[in-house]
Amino acid sequence: MTPSALSASQHPSSSSLPRLPPNVIRLPATSQLEACLTIIRDKQTSRSDFIFYSDRIIRLLVEEGLNHLPVVGKQVQCPTGLPYNGVEFQGRICGVSILRAGEAMEAGLRECCRSVRIGKILIQRDEETAKPKLFYSKLPRDIADRWVLLLDPMLATGGSVIKAIEVLVDHGVPLERIIFVNLVASPEGIENVTKRFPAVRLICGWIDDGLTEQNLIWPGLGDFGDRYFGA
């Protein structure tokens, strides 16, 4: 068999994927998605290519996240003079990026949602307690009335995401209005987040094998923030 002639059976299928909780949505394992992931995983990939192909995946993830927003019926008049019964989004949204890697996903959200408001949360490990600690947050004043797309490309242990969700809840955001969007997740991270917050939806691009002893995603793709923004 030639390297360029992979059969459909050699690509991951829905039947071969691990069983996920009902609130976890994984992008379909298409050849296009796997090809983009292969490029950004390659340590030889240039920064410009890393950005380009990461942005392609991010756009897919944002589109999938928007699919989970509520809609209501709306009738419009077509240029032909005929009515069309369609839908429109119900409620307002905002994005919240977990700094700094999450900022890489903001452009993808803005490309899909014009004039969308963006909040930011900075969470780092406390050297004394070794637990995630909130260092900074700037959120829309009316965030409690919005649907929130929480943005972070990598989900390892889930500690930072759990802390970020706690911050959103403290600001009045209902759990069912939080949609966490990420590129690559570990099974351990998914389990930790879904057990803590079963009402929060997770949109994942890919689920890797697990975590190393240093709690790094395996096989992973390195430090996303450093590769996207430059070390």
Would residue 13 count as lying in a domain?
no
Catalytic option among 125, 142, 170, 209: 125
With bands split at pLDDT 50, 70 and 90, how would you rate the model's confidence at 14?
Answer: very low
226 is catalytic: yes
Does a structural domain hold residue 3? no
User: How far is Cα 58 from Cα 153, in angstroms, rounded to an integer?
Assistant: 8
Q: Does residue 130 have a pLDDT over 80?
A: no
- Structural domains counted in the chain: 1
pLDDT at 133 > cutoff 80 = yes
pLDDT-derived band at 10 (thresholds 50, 70, 90) equals very low
Give residue 208's pLDDT band: very low, low, confident or very high (50, 70, 90): very high
Task: Give the CA diameter of the chain.
Answer: 68
Task: Look at residue 115 and tell me if it is in a domain.
Answer: yes
223 is catalytic: yes
Does residue 21 sit within a domain?
no
- Selected catalytic residue, list 42, 49, 126, 226: 226
Q: Where in the sequence is the domain holding 147, given as residue range(s)? A: 29-229
Residue 141 appears among annotated catalytic residues: no
Residue 34 lies in a domain: yes
Residue 69 lies in a domain: yes
Q: What CATH number should be reported for the domain holding residue 78? A: 3.40.50.2020
157 is catalytic: no
Domain assignment present for residue 208? The answer is yes
| Choice among 2, 19, 129, 141 that is catalytic | 129
| pTM, full prediction | 0.87
pLDDT digits (tens, 9 = 90+) for 143-155: 999 999 999 999 9
Q: Are 103 and 97 in contact (CB under 8 A)?
A: yes
Q: Is residue 19 part of a domain?
A: no
What is the overall mean pLDDT for the chain?
90
Statement: residue 11 has pLDDT above 80: no
Asked if the model's pLDDT at residue 8 lies above 50, the reply is no
| Exposure letters 203-218 (e unless 16+ CB within 10 A, then b) | bbbbbbeebeeeebbe
pLDDT of residue 127: 64
- Checking if the pLDDT of 109 tops 60, the result is yes
pLDDT digits (tens, 9 = 90+) for 134-181: 999 999 999 999 999 999 999 999 999 999 999 999 999 999 999 999
Q: Phi and psi (nearest 5°) for 154?
A: -120, 135
Q: Is the pLDDT of residue 129 over 80?
A: no
Higher pLDDT, 21 or 15: 21
